[in-house]
């Protein structure tokens, strides 16, 4: 990854009976079960994995809402993790979108300070949220990058590729 430092008409309310034995036909159920469901309608969760850089920074656990992301709306990123070092003062939680084919950033890099109320300590679990308002128009597919950074140092990271 080269980035810089997501028909009711067949259902009858009344059972269909055979004239001969008054038992429901299974054919109507088979028709409903055989209707293909387009891939995009299947409920899925965006999966985040380790960022590809060396050395590999610790993985953040990230949940987004709504999932999938909707262009023009606000998405909330909730990142949870722990580091083997104290989070330095002035560190931020960041989130951005990228074009999977060109590796270019789409829209803005959004930031939320990590040290409001004190900086997370080494080994202590932290949870931080970031609201990304007015999500830009996204290509198909796109990537999402979420990280904890201090200037250009990546302290923790997670990426969802080809969403």
**Burial letters 15-49, b for 16+ CB under 10 A, else e:** eeeeeeeeeeeeeeeeeeeeeeeeeeeeeeeeebe
* Two structure tokens written together for 129: 């949220």
Dist CA 163 CA 114 (whole Å): 26
Answer yes or no: are the C-beta atoms of 133 and 72 closer than 8 Å: no
How many C-beta atoms lie closer than 10 Å to residue 70's C-beta? Answer: 12
Among 61, 66, 65, 29, CA closest to 47: 61
Distances (CA, A) of 92 to 20, 87, 101, 120, 154: 72, 9, 27, 12, 10
- Beta bridge mates, 75: 132
Exposure on the CB side of residue 155, measured as CA atoms within 13 A? 24
Among 120, 129, 123, CA closest to 88: 120
Residue 11 has pLDDT above 50, yes or no: no
Output the pLDDT for position 163: 86
The domain locations on the chain are: 8-41, 61-160
Mean of the per-residue pLDDT values of the chain? 82
The pLDDT tens digits for 13-61 are 344 334 445 544 444 434 444 445 454 555 579 999 999 888 999 999 9
Strands 126-132 and 153-160: unpaired
Q: What is the dotted CATH code of the domain comprising 61-160?
A: 2.60.40.770
Dist CA 128 CA 1 (whole Å): 25
Answer yes or no: are the C-beta atoms of 155 and 85 closer than 8 Å: yes
H or E element at residue 161: none
The pLDDT tens digits for 127-145 are 999 999 999 999 999 999 9
């Amino acid at each position: 990854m080269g980035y810089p430092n997501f028909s009711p008409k067949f259902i009858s309310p009344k059972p269909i009976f055979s004239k001969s034995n008054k038992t429901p036909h299974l054919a109507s159920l088979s028709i409903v079960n055989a209707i293909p469901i387009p891939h995009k309608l299947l409920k899925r969760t965006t999966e985040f994995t380790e960022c590809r850089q060396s050395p590999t920074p610790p993985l953040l656990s990230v949940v987004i809402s709504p999932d999938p992301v909707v262009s023009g709306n606000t998405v909330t990123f909730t990142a949870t993790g722990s580091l083997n070092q104290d989070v330095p003062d002035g560190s931020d939680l960041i989130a951005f979108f990228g074009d999977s084919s060109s590796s270019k950033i789409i829209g803005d890099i959004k930031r939320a300070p990590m040290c409001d109320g004190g900086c997370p300590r080494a080994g202590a679990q932290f949870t931080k949220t970031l609201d990304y308002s007015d999500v830009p128009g996204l290509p198909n597919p796109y990537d999402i990058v979420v990280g904890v950074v201090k200037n250009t140092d990546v302290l923790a990271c997670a990426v969802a590729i080809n969403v």
